[in-house]
Homo-oligomer: A and B are copies of this chain.
Amino acid sequence: MAAPLRLKPLSRVAVSGGTHGNEMSGIYLAKHWLRDPRELQRSSFTITPFLSNLRAIEKCVRYVGQDLNRSFTTEFLSSVKAENEPYELNLAREINQTYGPKGSAQAFDFMFDLHNTTANMGTCLIVDSEENLLSMHMCHYIQTHYRLSPCPIYLYKSPDEEPYTIYSVAKAGLALELGPQAQGVVRADLFAQMRALIACGLDFIELFNKGTVFPAFEIEVYKFTGIVDYPRYPDGEISAMVHPKLQDKDFHPLNPGDPIFQTFSGEEVLYEGNVTIYPAFINEAAYYEKQIAFVKLEKHIFSIPSLQRE
């Protein structure tokens, strides 16, 4: 049995909307909270909502120069400001100064990051890895208390990879990935879900700060293992679409031999892996340029030790 986790109370929490400037649930939530922050108030800590990529939000695009949510590596953060560098590079340094610096004692205790996807991922919770025990406890609390839909947990980080997302500047974090929602659109149903998930996460922090002991548990998670690109013509253009039987089936099992693509000429392309995987980000609009038709996930069960305040 792993040792109980003992942590100091959390005092400063941030919530980022608009890390991608065309994912509207978080943008309109953050804009609303900046006008009226009352629903964010808790007695034991402060919550700071902010709009992270203002220029991308104004243009209603994912990013202006480079993907902000891939810009928080040590290499990027420690780079020297250069002329003609991508807009998001300096933005990442500024966000790191305000809410970090990454890895330092001054960093914010926690950051929520609000995203949408065109994929049918429901109310998905994204964490670096199962080693982020505080975030895993929050996910468990949300899964137990937010009952309107399942909240699958997606661990995105490969073992040897450095965290590169915006919330990595804080001491811990969680991204919400809600879909399906078209870019540039705010749907009332997803807006309400995101709002309720954040309220649930803040309630968890309040309980922790006030001394609640959270027992150990086992938890099912989906862990990133790789990507699958679209079939392509020799000139690089995609030659196929996500198969109708795979479309919208995020987090469903995909078995060897199952259809994954349909070419524009009408042929089926089958999954050639050796084991069952769980696809996610299926047909995500922003991933065409990243050459990702879907990501491959493996299902795991992890044991998380108990948590309490120091």
Contact surface of A with B, Cβ cutoff 8 Å: 28-29, 31-32, 35-36, 60, 118, 180-189, 191-192, 233, 237-238, 241-244, 247, 262, 264-265, 283-286, 288-289
CB distance B188 to A241 under 8 Å?
yes
Cα A28 to Cα B230 in complex, Å, equals: 14
Residues of B within 8 A of A243 (CB): 188
Cα A243 to Cα B243 in complex, Å, equals: 32
Cα A103 to Cα B200 in complex, Å, equals: 62
Which residue of B has the minimal Cβ distance to A263? B32
Nearest 9 A/B pairs, CB to CB: A184-B285, A182-B182, A118-B182, A32-B264, A188-B244, A188-B241, A185-B285, A188-B262, A186-B241
Cα A29 to Cα B31 in complex, Å, equals: 39
A21 to chain B, nearest CB (A): 13
24 pairs of residues in contact across A and B, judged by CB atoms under 8 Å: A28-B264, A29-B264, A32-B264, A35-B233, A36-B265, A118-B182, A118-B184, A180-B182, A182-B182, A182-B285, A183-B183, A184-B286, A184-B288, A186-B241, A186-B283, A187-B241, A187-B247, A187-B283, A188-B241, A188-B242, A188-B244, A188-B262, A191-B241, A191-B264
For the A-B complex with A186-B241, A189-B244, A191-B264 known, give 12 more contacts whose Cβ atoms are closer than 8 Å: A31-B237, A35-B233, A36-B265, A60-B289, A118-B184, A118-B185, A180-B182, A186-B283, A188-B241, A188-B244, A188-B247, A189-B247
Cα A247 to Cα B31 in complex, Å, equals: 22
- Contact A283/B185 with A32-B264, A264-B28, A265-B36 known, Cβ cut-off 8 Å: yes
Cα A28 to Cα B261 in complex, Å, equals: 15
Which residue of B has the minimal Cβ distance to A186? B241
A132 to chain B, nearest CB (A): 30
CB distance B241 to A28 under 8 Å?
yes
CB distance B186 to A183 under 8 Å?
no
Residues of B within 8 A of A32 (CB): 264-265
